[in-house]
Amino acid sequence: MNETNFQSGYSDVNGLNMYYEIYGEGKPIVLIHGGGSTIQTTFGNLIPLLFKHRQVIAMDLQAHGRTGDRAGGLSFEQDADDVAMLLNNLNITKADFLGYSNGGQTLFEIALRHADIVNKLIIASAFYNRNAAPPQFWEGFDHATIDVMPTSLKNAFLKVNNDESALLNMFNKDVQRMKNFKGWDKEQIQSISFPTLIINGNNDVGSIEHAVEMYRIMPDAQLAVLPGKHGTYIGAVEFLDNGKWTHHYIVDIINEFLND
């Protein structure tokens, strides 16, 4: 990769100083990272393969990585509005989207709030209601402290924003958002009519049954259940064994869906 096909910067997004990166040329795909993550922790393995044929746009969301914060808590609605405003600032009128984990939940809100900018959706390891995950998953947020945060995510945050207080702030806000998670009703999910690829690991946070349910209620959905844990198939660093990513075939699945 050379300087001619990579750029990065900050954009004023709804009063927030948002960091973004753009790779490659061609039809745009927007990548939205998971909670506690940065562009690189979620997508660092995937981007070099994706941008060979696409323009890839990614950002650090509010309070994450290099992007600033606002007073008050985080919400998927606000993240959706921020992503839409960033694309407006970058003069991108329509794109494909890939959202991982909390980024997938942000995609639900983008589809509901900003339908005019959506071409196709890839919802990766995300769920739309609390029944997707076991009770112990939700109970874990009641007493979560930052020592339970994966070391790889903490180190990656501090690498791009060497501020322990900002790291703790992000962690606390992400935890609070999930404690208060209410999700969406079936009618809202059913109203999302864009071509959508739902991807789930066979040992994911959300159950395979929930992924199948989404596939059945969304009007134009496809479903891929892949081996591995939460995000291993896209190379999310917090769930890789010994840092090794072997699921490169996901790029073929993504490209086939997007180019169909």
How high does pLDDT run on average in the chain? 96
The domain in which residue 190 lies consists of 3-259
Q: What is the CATH number of the domain that holds 239?
A: 3.40.50.1820
pLDDT digits (tens, 9 = 90+) for 238-257: 999 888 999 999 999 999 99
pLDDT of 24 reads 95
pLDDT of 120 reads 98
pLDDT average, residue stretch 46-67 = 97
Residue 127 has pLDDT above 50, yes or no: yes
Residue 232 has pLDDT above 70, yes or no: yes
**Strand 6-13 vs strand 28-32: parallel, antiparallel, or unpaired?**
unpaired
pLDDT of 1 reads 47
pLDDT digits (tens, 9 = 90+) for 68-125: 999 999 999 999 999 999 999 999 999 999 999 999 999 999 999 999 999 999 999 9
- Hey, what are 159's tokens? 């690498």
Residue 260 has pLDDT above 50, yes or no: yes
How many domains, in total, are found in the chain?
Answer: 1
Task: Please give the biggest Cα pair distance in the chain.
Answer: 49
pLDDT of 4 reads 54
Residue 229 has pLDDT above 90, yes or no: yes
pLDDT average, residue stretch 152-179 = 97
pLDDT digits (tens, 9 = 90+) for 185-228: 999 999 999 999 999 999 999 999 999 999 999 999 999 999 99
pTM recorded for the entire structure: 0.96
